[in-house]
Amino acid sequence: MNRRSFAQTVGGAVAMSALGRSTVWSESTSDGTPGRIMAIAAHPGDGLFTMGAVLAQQIERGGTGTLLSLSLGEKGAPKDIPVQHYGEMQRAATQKATHLLGADAIFLAYPDAEIPFNEESTLAVCDAIRQYKPDVVITHWSGSWHKDHQNCHLIVRDAVFYAALETLTRSRPAHSVSKVLYAENWEDASNFIPDTYLDIEAVYEKWLQACDFYPMWRGQTGFFRYNDYYSALSIARGCLSGFKHAVALMSDPGQRITRPRSL
């Protein structure tokens, strides 16, 4: 298949206003109404901790949000919980968390640590994009040490392309995603350069409550202090953007080109 560039495939724009060299995001469609967002994460915790506040903010303003998790994150199980049981705990926590935020939760349930980057997984995500028709997709940045996160990034890149390709026949018609953004994740930090700061103050407490459904958030399954890190990060990003709490996002480099007729 002759693939056009990512930037050519996902045209369109999200309204932005300048803040220094970065932007403050007004997450609306071209006619001013809040649009549909789909967060696509390798593991449920990534979805809630790094993308959940964005989903919540969109829903708060009248839009819709969907979280697609490519796995259940079951291999993060602590020693005293069987892996399969922990996966179901993760699924249940995600359903509670997304329900609290007003978002949909869907799973593809590939084996944790073995999420494949191939035609089957890419077409499965393509089909989800065609079904939910998001205006904006948020996913992992490529600069990750984690193979599942890297593969998720690649899967979403090609799934967005496939979803928009009208000559690719699937059960649902083609759908073009207007904007792809990358979430700030402590495991995906290599060359992550944020350019978009979203005010999450209206949903901050609700987002923390949603994250708290996960034992991982409370430090019960490993060493990393997710609660401290992501709550503190929202304050730090808020300091840089003039908000009390904010989430920093990164636009796809291929979508940063603007074509104004005057400056």
Footprint of Zn ion (CB under 5 A)? 42-43, 46
Which C-beta is closer to Zn ion: that of 10 or that of 42? 42
What is the nearest approach in angstroms of Zn ion to the Cβ of residue 101?
A: 19
What backbone torsions phi and psi does residue 139 show, to the nearest 5 degrees? -150, -165
CB neighbourhood size of 186 (10 A)? 14
Which C-beta is closer to Zn ion: that of 141 or that of 161? 141
CA–CA–CA angle 81, 226, 67 (5° rounding): 80
Residue with tokens 């001013």: 32
Which C-beta is closer to Zn ion: that of 46 or that of 184? 46
Which C-beta is closer to Zn ion: that of 114 or that of 205? 114
What is the nearest approach in angstroms of Zn ion to the Cβ of residue 13?
A: 30
- Alpha carbon 18 to chain centroid, angstroms: 23
**Rounded Cα–Cα distance for residues 66 and 22 (Å):** 26
What is the nearest approach in angstroms of Zn ion to the Cβ of residue 86?
A: 14
Which C-beta is closer to Zn ion: that of 42 or that of 211? 42
What is the nearest approach in angstroms of Zn ion to the Cβ of residue 196?
A: 21
What is the nearest approach in angstroms of Zn ion to the Cβ of residue 232?
A: 19
Q: Which residue is nearest to Zn ion (CB)?
A: 43
**Rounded Cα–Cα distance for residues 199 and 244 (Å):** 8
Strand-strand pairing, 196-199 and 22-25: parallel
Which C-beta is closer to Zn ion: that of 7 or that of 113? 113
What is the nearest approach in angstroms of Zn ion to the Cβ of residue 105?
A: 16
What is the nearest approach in angstroms of Zn ion to the Cβ of residue 173?
A: 32
Which C-beta is closer to Zn ion: that of 46 or that of 135? 46
**Rounded Cα–Cα distance for residues 236 and 251 (Å):** 19
CB 152 within 8 A of CB 115: yes
Per DSSP, which regions of the chain are E strands? 16-19, 22-25, 36-41, 64-71, 104-110, 136-139, 179-183, 196-199, 246-251
The closest alpha carbon to 124, from 152, 105, 84, 97, belongs to: 152
